[in-house]
Structure 1
Amino acid sequence: MRSVKLSSIFVVLVLSVGMMFVGGCGGTGDLRLQNETQRKRIAELESELQANRLELDRLRRQLSAIEQTGGVEVDALRQKIAALEEDLARKEELIKSMQERLMGVSVLPVELNTALEDFAAQNDMVEYDPDRGLVKFKSDLLFELGSDKVTTSAAETVRTLCTILNTSEARQFDIIVAGHTDDVPIRRPDTLAAHPTNRHLSSHRAISVVRVLEGCGLDAKRMSTRGFGEYRPVAPNAPGNKGNTQNRRVEIFIVPSGL
């Protein structure tokens, strides 16, 4: 019964998100309103996720303490845990979908789009998705191992991007820099001291890219950062926390100003 209720709630949430975008975008003002509503809903879901994770940890500890005894109580607790895990997975998927919609709303001018396509074609560490206004850097080439320090060669590439983002066609857009990692836990003591978790590392790397962009003249007011750690993979990680190079990346979204 609980699974049915959770499924119903999830369907309602998905329909709500779909209705928000089905009518299209009537202009920058509409985009701002839609994205503000989107951000609030994402914040609510993330708050619910945090509470659910805490409850799941509590239930797992409770199960561990009593599972040796067996009986009906253990079975009921396992059912609660399974239902909560199912709910968490659905909410995480919904948040991911909403984030992708939120950061993929811009259609760039032809001149800017062409410049970004040429930029990506000339750089092995860069991919460009014109449908989402997304420039993606491979972290393995962008940073020193286990560090948020941008390599000298990569910094030059970021500065080239900065030149494009400072053109008149690009100045009407803001920049969101999002860091991502794979699922390999941080173990090296010196890395742990600076970046306690993958989320910290991804956030610090996004900030480092913003600093390079600021250093070459990009207006700080146009930029924001996000760090997702291992929680937004674009490809399956290898079993046993072995990671995947595709998931180690920094994404730069070009979005309408004020979103």
Structure 2
Amino acid sequence: MKSFARLAMATVILSSVGMVGCVAQSEVDQFRELYRKSEAQQIELQSRLDEANARILALQAEPKVDLEAKAALEAALAEKAQLLAALDEAKERIRDMASSSNQLPVVLSNKLESLAASNPGLMSYDSKSGMVRLASDMTFALGKTEVSSAASASLAQLAVVLNSGEAMAYEVRVVGHTDNVPMKNPVNKDKYGDNWGLSAGRAIAVKSVLQKAGVSPSRMSIAGYGEYRPIAANNVTGSQANRRVEIFLVAMPAPVAAAPVVKATPVVAPKAAAPTPVVAPAPVKKETAPVFYK
């Protein structure tokens, strides 16, 4: 089928795009176009699968199955198996692309790397994942969510980069993390509940600083993982590495147009005998009663 050929071609093209380290803007644009096409193909495959299921149900519901209907049913079942395999392949490819979509253009990556280098101890940058990491010990007081003045100034510089032309096509995801030391301060426990609440509160605080510095809220999202996504082993006093806020730049896929709906092939069921018309009895005339209103 043509859809399978297009899917295979997209896979071949994708393998030719460099996916390691920083990439040129043209390659980012090509990657996003492939992502968009793969999503559209997934929608088309799902639509065709729904049609195949409808044909199968109609054929199975026929009171008498002749040889022609049996052959049509077997063909529909075979098509369903092919569509399921192609749909699984398309979904897997989209998942792979989504996990590999964080390589940033060279110019943007260089700006973030330079910014991190000018803020040692507070900020670091991972070019492979397109992520800026803030050390919580340098950003917040112990058990608090208020961003320090020094960290606010650095985040204002980050906002300038995030609003540059190279970065406008990227979503800004702010994710908070903590170590595994339980929260004991009654005031903090009442305010945040636990480390999960603290991590979410810190992500919101960083988001708010970026928003005040000019980053559009429509481009931002927040999350908090508490102590459950460590990057280093915790000891009795936790781990400074695990106390962090991460800011990811993730390509925003272009809107996907709805795939054209292909009308299913109608299944002609055997004609049933015409029902005998039922004649309703003539209405009985009643005297009109007077109508009273309140």
Indicate whether the TM-score tops 0.5: yes
- AA aligned to 1:162 is A
Identical counterparts, % of pairs: 37
2:104 counterpart SS class: coil
CA 1:200–1:258: 2 relative to 1, 3 Å: farther
Deviation for aligned residue 1:103:
6.2
Q: Is 1:28 aligned with 2:42? A: no
Q: Is 1:111 aligned with 2:107? A: yes
Provide the rounded CA distance (Å) in 2 between the counterparts of 1:137 and 1:102: 24
Provide the rounded CA distance (Å) in 2 between the counterparts of 1:118 and 1:100: 29
Match of 1:227 in 2: 224
Per-residue CA deviation, residues 120-144 of structure 1 (Å, 9 max, x unaligned), is: 1110211100111010000000112
Match of 1:243 in 2: 238
Match of 2:20 in 1: none
CA 1:187–1:258: 2 relative to 1, 3 Å: farther
CA contact (8 A) 1:198 1:229 kept: yes
- AA aligned to 2:144 is S
Provide the rounded CA distance (Å) in 2 between the counterparts of 1:103 and 1:225: 18
Which of 239, 247, 254 does residue 252 from structure 1 map onto? 247
Provide the rounded CA distance (Å) in 1 between the counterparts of 2:143 and 2:100: 29
* 1:38-77 to 2 correspondences below 5 Å: none
Q: Is 1:216 aligned with 2:220? A: no
Q: Is 1:175 aligned with 2:172? A: yes
Deviation for aligned residue 1:257:
1.6
Provide the rounded CA distance (Å) in 1 between the counterparts of 2:135 and 2:110: 21
Per-residue CA deviation, residues 92-114 of structure 1 (Å, 9 max, x unaligned), is: xxxxxxx9995662221111111
CA contact (8 A) 2:35 2:97 kept: no
Per-residue CA deviation, residues 203-255 of structure 1 (Å, 9 max, x unaligned), is: 0100110100110110100000010000000001015xx31100000000001
- AA aligned to 2:196 is R
CA contact (8 A) 1:238 1:244 kept: yes
Structure with the bigger percentage of helix: 1
Deviation for aligned residue 1:152:
0.9
CA contact (8 A) 1:206 1:227 kept: yes
- AA aligned to 2:117 is A
**Normalized against structure 2, the TM-score is what?**
0.54
Match of 2:148 in 1: 151
Match of 2:133 in 1: 136
Number of residues paired by the alignment? 173
**Normalized against structure 1, the TM-score is what?**
0.61
- Looking at CA atoms only, which structure, 1 or 2, has the larger radius of gyration? 2
Match of 1:187 in 2: 184
Match of 2:77 in 1: none
Structure 2: any 5+ residue segments left out of the alignment? 1-10, 18-29, 43-94, 255-294
Provide the rounded CA distance (Å) in 1 between the counterparts of 2:182 and 2:190: 14
Provide the rounded CA distance (Å) in 2 between the counterparts of 1:167 and 1:110: 13
